[in-house]
């Protein structure tokens, strides 16, 4: 089992996954928006988020939740 050196907060993990799911729902239901748009936005803002104290693992979970949720909601439209 891999050892994670960062102290992972369950609340921050849940909030980042919920934010990613919200972005995935929005990008899945609105034509013209894609999950890659939000992923690029998160990647471009990630230095500011990391500098403010948010570990990169939460940004990764946000992008992952965004992509998975977009896949399910893209089928609806």
Give me the DSSP letters along 12-67.
HHHHHHHHHHHHHHHHHHSTT--HHHHHHHHHHHHHHHHHTT--HHHHHHHHHHHH
- pLDDT at residue number 4: 57
For residue 1, being part of any structural domain is answered with no
For residue 3, being part of any structural domain is answered with no
| Whole-prediction pTM | 0.82
For residue 69, being part of any structural domain is answered with yes
CA 65 remoteness from chain centre: 5
For residue 65, being part of any structural domain is answered with yes
For residue 25, being part of any structural domain is answered with yes
Count other Cβ atoms within 10 Å, centred on residue 2: 4
For residue 5, being part of any structural domain is answered with no
Q: How many domains does the chain have?
A: 1
pLDDT tens-digit map of 14-64: 999 999 999 999 998 888 888 899 999 999 999 999 999 889 999 999 999
For residue 4, being part of any structural domain is answered with no
Residue 33 is part of which domain span? 10-76
More confidently predicted of 22 and 2: 22
């Amino acid at each position: 089992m891999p050892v994670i050196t960062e102290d992972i907060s369950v609340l921050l993990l849940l909030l980042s996954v919920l934010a990613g799911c919200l972005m995935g729902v929005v990008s899945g239901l609105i034509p013209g928006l894609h999950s890659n748009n939000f992923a690029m936005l998160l990647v471009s803002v990630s230095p500011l988020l990391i500098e403010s104290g948010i570990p990169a693992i939460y940004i990764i979970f946000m992008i992952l939740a965004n992509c998975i949720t977009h896949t399910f909601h893209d089928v609806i439209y």
